[in-house]
Amino acid sequence: MTVPAISGADTNLEDYDIVRWFEDIADNAAQVQTQILKRIVKLNCNTEYLRNRLGTEVLNIEELEPERIADGDDSALLTQEPITMLSLSSGTTDGRQKYVPFTRFSSQSTLQIFRLAAAYRSRVFPIRAGGRILEFVYSSKQFKTRGGLTAGTATTHYFASEEFKTKQKTTKSFTCSPYEVISAGDYKQSTYCHLLLGLLFADQVEFVTSTFAYSLVQAFTAFEDVWQEICEDIRHGTLSSRITITNMRSSVLDYIAPDPALALEIESKCKELNSSNWHCMIPRLWPNAKYVYSIMTGAMQPYLKKLRHYAGDLALVCADYGSTESWIGVNLGPLDPPERVNFTVVPTFSYFEFIPLSLIVNRGSEYSLANDDYEEGEPLPLSKVKIGEQYEVVLTTFTGLYRYRLGDVVEVAGFYKGAPQLNFICRRKLILTVNIDKNTEKDLQMVVEKGSNLLSQKTKSELVDFTSNADTSKNPGHYVVYWEIKGNVEDEVLNECCREMDLAFVDHGYVVSRKTNSIGPLELKIVETGTFRKILEYYIGNGAAMSQFKTPRCTSNQVLLRILGDRTIKQFRSTAYR
């Protein structure tokens, strides 16, 4: 079998059926992977990294020396292809951003997976040619590194690429917002314009999307506050004074003309929605939308409840599995709910290996995925993984990463032809530890879910967002969980929620440490409304993009802890284990 050319990502896929192309490479996944590895090595065999280290080790990003590239080393360090751009990871998982090489292949593979995923979605949700997409996408500022390379988020690079412009011109549906709105660099102003233009073209909208579920929830939450202002703009053909960026303002005004009838219709719907706490907002305002499309797994799962509230019975379709470093898998089952979605590996994007993870400490149905709880096997090729087993993903990419540990833990759910289908389990990184306890983001999410379920049962309030901190400033150390809540809650209920969360940690080290007072009682702190928006603004002010933002689920960042501390209005200590 011959793999399509152009570094494994053929962008001329309109010449043949992309579904048939994928079926073919999935059928021959093992053979394709061998060819991909040979191609990567052949293209880059003269790089300093491969000459000196032969790519035998499994590495973290720091060992691949991206800082040398950022500082201006233009030798063939990682790739023969010149690296002129560097992507920045979001930095919200472990508190720091890291540089990842970005080449034309990065944009090509992004366009390719978008087309592939769209082809499978259209089988279930056929869309009209010439329709529109209400797409909440946001670019951020690019900057120059010390060595003169352009740096920014991967989404920013993609939105500025020829591949993105091609997508806008060649797909059946195109976004409601012009490039000036996407690239404005001010997420609040962009969100307002996305909403306004989305309502102007409401009858044409085929589906609603954003990179992460968080961005959708943020946008529709903002709409609750600005809908009257948007209606006035539509009624009079004006644009709010809150839009101050000149080129964005000019481009949006080109679309607007006075439309009192449309304004009255939207106003009437919004008054009804407001009386029902905005339930079913999306299908009411965009009646022809067929689904909502976004990344909804991992760190995005806590936002599913609110997104379902806004979407009503509209399908929530989980977007594809990838990272700043590489795209990995496509969702071939658009009807699968986000909690049960799996992703079929696309074998041309990278050379994939999988480190088997054998659980040493069994905790029944609930367990942690901390480093010390696992015994690692040797990395396996894609064709050797087993259904039901868990692995850490390792990448060798066309953009200069060799046997790179992604840090994601996945479970093999099955195979599609010869390509494994993966369930994302969690990030492997340990986030909460004080003593011998080991808890990850997934552990914390399950604990908070139990507490928030109790909150929902006893009140009409809802959890807006959360984070945590392992406070070791005093002995014994203890966990602190921060909640932002919408609505008023009695202290008695919050005390119950605190105790429920403390008891919900099933890690053996935590339970033993609590019983022996080696870890103190869990502390629940309630913060003011708008606190997590302040955290978002802090990250965006430091170079993160709205389209890549994920609330840090555990933080030791002193600026964030100061924001949280200054805005804490109530605090409770667990009475469990007394």
The arithmetic mean of pLDDT across residues 10-38, rounded, is: 79
For residues 70 and 142, what is the distance between their CA atoms, to the nearest angstrom? 14
CB 464 within 8 A of CB 482: no
pLDDT at 182 over 50: yes
What per-residue confidence (pLDDT) applies to 96?
Answer: 58
pLDDT tens for 250-261 read 999 999 999 999
Question: Out of 28-32, 39-43, 195-199, 346-350, which region has the weakest mean confidence (pLDDT)?
Answer: 39-43
Q: Residue 175 pLDDT > 90, yes or no?
A: no
Q: Specify whether the CB–CB gap between 388 and 411 falls below 8 A.
A: yes
Question: Measured between alpha carbons, how far is 450 from 452 in angstroms, rounded to an integer?
Answer: 6
d(CA 420, CA 390): 12
- Which pLDDT belongs to residue 376? 66
Least trusted range by pLDDT, from 78-92, 259-273, 532-546? 78-92
Q: What is the predicted pLDDT for the residue at 361?
A: 37
pLDDT band at 196 (very low <50, low <70, confident <90, very high): very high
Reported as a single tens digit per residue, the pLDDT across 139-174 is: 777 677 776 777 777 777 777 777 676 666 655 557
Lowest mean pLDDT among 8-12, 209-213, 335-339, 383-387: 8-12
- The least confident of 72-76, 204-208, 463-467, 562-566 is 72-76
SS3 406: strand
Asked if the model's pLDDT at residue 16 lies above 50, the reply is no
> Could you read off the pLDDT of 515-553 as tens digits, one per residue?
888 889 999 999 999 999 898 888 887 767 676 778 888
The answer to whether 95 touches 557, Cβ cutoff 8 Å, is: yes
Place of tokens 């929605």: 273
Mean pLDDT of 118-129: 87
| Burial class of residue 75 (count of CB atoms within 10 Å of its CB; 0-12, 13-18, 19+) | exposed
Burial of 65 (0-12, 13-18, 19+ CB in 10 A): middle
- d(CA 505, CA 373) in angstroms, rounded, equals 16
Pair of tokens at residue 393 = 């993903």
How would DSSP label each residue in 482-499?
EEEEES---HHHHHHHHH
Burial class (CB in 10 A: 0-12, 13-18, 19+), 413: middle
> pLDDT value at position 550?
81
Helices marked H in 201-259: 213-236, 246-253
What is the pLDDT, as a whole number, of residue 287?
Answer: 94
Hey, is 377 helix, strand or coil?
coil
The whole-angstrom distance between residue 302's C-alpha and the CA centroid of its chain comes to 12
Q: For residue 171, what pLDDT is reported?
A: 57
Residue 5 has pLDDT above 50, yes or no: no
pLDDT in tens, 27-45: 999 999 999 999 988 888 7
Q: Which residues pair with 327 in a beta bridge?
A: 322
Mean pLDDT over all residues of the chain? 83
Query: What share of the chain has pLDDT > 90, as a percent?
Result: 42
Q: Is residue 8's pLDDT more than 60?
A: no
**For the chain, domain boundaries:** 431-573
